[in-house]
Every structure is written in structure tokens, then in C-alpha cells.
Amino acid sequence: MYVIMAYDVNVERVVKVLHTGRRYLTWVQNSVLEGELTPALFERLKADIAKIIDPNQDAVRFYVIKRTACFEKEFLGHSKNEPGQIL
């Protein structure tokens, strides 16, 4: 399944959330990571993120797309990174 993770977290926790997210997904632009995950890895990602954030202040959204044929990506401007590119 394809997972898009978008986070809106307090500045004190941004680096930790990003580092944790990048263990599972590819950073593509400010506050957004994406990539293929197994259900098991997705559960571990959520558990790891849940340990870091303050649920009263921070918001993390996951869009879980069952099949990549179900969606398309379009860009305007300068695409900062893509899954598969090595930063």
C-alpha cells in the first residue's frame, strides 16, 4: 500500500518526527513523506510517531492508498524529491 504522511507538529518535535518518518518513507517536501509500506511497517511507523508527538498540539495525517493504480501525482513548480531519488 502507498502511504502519504503529512505532519503539522510543534517546532520542537519536527526534527524527530522527520527522522523517524524517513526510516520508513521518503521525504518529498516540507512536512510530507511518502512511499510503499507493508501493513506491518505502517503499524510500526504509527507506533514510533505516536511516542514522539504531543497529541494535544501535533497533527499527523496518513493517506493510505490501497493500490497505486488508484491515484496519480501531479506537480507544479520544483519537485524537491521523489521516492527512488537518493538525497
Instruction: Give the residue ranges of the annotated binding site for Mg(2+).
Output: 8
For helices 39-52 and 14-22, the axis angle rounded to 10 degrees is 160
Binding site for a copy of itself (CB under 8 A): 4, 6, 8-9, 28-32, 46, 49-50, 53-67, 70-80
Distance of CA 52 to CAs 21, 31, 75, Å?
A: 11, 15, 31
Nearer to a copy of itself, 74 or 86 (CB): 74
Nearer to a copy of itself, 40 or 70 (CB): 70
Q: How far is the CB of 36 from a copy of itself (least distance, A)?
A: 14
* CA distance linking residue 48 with residue 18, whole number of Å: 11
